[in-house]
Amino acid sequence: MANSVEPRPHISTDNNANQTHYYVTLAIAVVFGIAGTFFRFLQDSFLFTSISNILLIIGAFIGIRTVFRIMK
C-alpha cells in the first residue's frame, strides 16, 4: 500500500496575542478603572464624580481598543 497523504508544508503563524505590550496596556487600563472606582467612593462631590467618570471612560476605552487590536 502506498501512502496517499502528502506532507503539508510548515505554516508559520504570527502569534499576535502573546505580545507583551498588549498585557501592559491592559494592566494600565485596569489601573485606570480601579482608580475611577476608588474616586467614586471618596467623597460625594461634583469634582470627584467627574474625575471618576473620566478615569472609568479612559480605562474602558483603552481596554476595549486593546482587545480589538489583539483580535485583529
pLDDT digits (tens, 9 = 90+) for 26-46: 999 999 999 999 988 888 899
What's the CA gap between 72 and 51, in Å, rounded?
32
Confidence of residue 68 (pLDDT cuts 50, 70, 90): very high
Q: Which amino acid is at 59?
A: G
pLDDT of residue 27: 97
Confidence of residue 13 (pLDDT cuts 50, 70, 90): low
Instruction: Calculate the CA dihedral of residues 20, 25, 27, 28 and round it to 10 degrees.
Output: 150
Contacts of residue 40, defined as CB under 8 A and 6 or more positions apart, other chains included, come to 48, 49, 52, 56
pLDDT of residue 57: 96
pLDDT at 65 over 90: yes
pLDDT of residue 1: 58
